[in-house]
Amino acid sequence: MREVIYQSIVNRKKNGQKSFAVLIDPDKVDAKKIDALTAMALQAKVDYLLVGGSLVISNHLDEVVTQIKKNCDIPIILFPGTPSQVSRYADGLLYLSLISGRNPELLIGQHVISAPFVKKSGLEIISTGYMLIDGGAPTTVSYISNAIPIPSDKNEIAICTAMAGEMLGMKLIYMDAGSGAKRAVSEEMIAAVSANIEVPLVVGGGIRNPEKAYLNCKAGADLIVVGNAIEKDGLLIKEMADAVHAAPIKALKV
Ligand code: 1GP
């Protein structure tokens, strides 16, 4: 199986470079908006574009992906909230298992049903241990997943969950406070988890300013994902990307 995107994430981590991804929700964009977003993303040297949402209502995922492709060569990684969110026009797909929850459907059930379809897509599949962290209020993903997020101050639970995910063979660990979270994942929790795993650590949910993106990287995040804040203010793309790319290599020791 291809590992181009994954290897690029790993290599960037090895070289001490932090990565920045913009999350595009297909429900919230049209062709004009995509053109503007991709132009800004190229200019800001965004590393990856994630496409997906917990509840995609519109039925134009293929159009969104091809429209992005028309304008730019930034790798497109699907971040599916449901098994139907697969487009063969993308480059890769985060194959998410909600390891922080105890809902068997999201741990393995939906994967069994969608496996033949996902495999046939030809996309680079990146096995990802997805951990939902309490962000201060219910988010779409916490409601839809019917799973209790990890309490935001329970660093030990987060550490053990991430370690288990890594030992089960997951190639990325993604800590998410949920899109539009009131409170982003704390730097303390990021540092604690990052000190205990070797695979790249993705962090997202409720990151609203470049300072927080920078501090998350300094604490040990390898890939920062921002959606909402950028939907509200496109100019943040460059500031966020610069902050992430300027972050130091060494994780804080806890
Ligand atoms: C959500 O991590 C992503 O799954 C991004 O969250 O939209 O709050 O930036 P925001």
Tens digits of residue pLDDT in 108-137: 999 999 999 999 999 999 999 999 999 999
CA 212 to centroid of ligand 1, rounded, Å: 13
Q: Is residue 252 part of a domain?
A: no
**Does 37 map to a domain?**
yes
Which amino acid is located at 133 in the chain? Answer: I
Question: Taking 90 as the threshold, does the pLDDT of residue 139 lie above it?
Answer: no
Which CATH number fits the domain that encloses residue 107?
A: 3.20.20.390
Protein residue whose Cα sits closest to atom 2 of ligand 1: 204
**Positive or negative, the Cα torsion across 122, 124, 129, 130?**
negative
Residue 140 in any domain: the answer is yes
Per-residue pLDDT for 53 more than 90?
A: no
Report the alpha-carbon distance of residue 71 to residue 73 in Å, rounded.
7
- Helical ranges in the chain per DSSP H: 4-14, 31-43, 61-71, 104, 110-120, 140-145, 155-167, 187-194, 210-219, 228-232, 236-245
- Would you say residue 57 has pLDDT above 90? no
**Atom of ligand 1 minimally distant from the CA of 207:** 9
Residues with CB under 6 A from ligand 1: 23, 176, 179-181, 204-207, 225-229
Q: For residues 20 and 156, give the distance between their C-alpha atoms in angstroms, rounded to a whole number.
A: 27
Bridge-based pairing state of the strands 172-176 and 124-132: parallel
Residue among 107, 112, 84 nearest 96 (CA): 107
- Strand-pair partners of 94: 126
Tell me how far the alpha carbon of residue 156 lies from the centroid of ligand 1, in angstroms. 23
Ligand 1: residue of 175, 176, 183 to mutate (most ligand atoms within 8 A of CB) is 176
Residues in the chain: 254
Mean pLDDT of the residues in the chain: 94
Question: How much is the pLDDT for 59?
Answer: 77
Does residue 163 form part of some domain? yes
**208 part of a folded domain:** yes
CA–centroid distance, 234 to ligand 1, in Å, is 15
Q: How far is the CA of 225 from the centre of ligand 1 (A)?
A: 6
pTM for the whole thing?
Answer: 0.96
Does 190 fall in a domain? Answer: yes
63 close to 51: Cβ distance less than 8 angstroms: no
Is 254 a member of any domain?
no
Identify the pLDDT of residue 254: 42
Contact residues for 86 (Cβ-Cβ < 8 A; gap 6+): 61, 78, 80, 93, 114, 117, 118, 121, 123
Atom of ligand 1 nearest to the CA of 229: 9
- Structural domain boundaries, residue 54: 4-245
DSSP 178: -
pLDDT band (50, 70, 90) for residue 239: very high
Domain count, the chain: 1
- What distance in angstroms lies between residue 193's CA and the mean position of ligand 1's atoms? 19
- Considering the domain boundaries, does residue 143 fall inside one? yes
pLDDT above 90 covers a percentage of the chain that reads 88
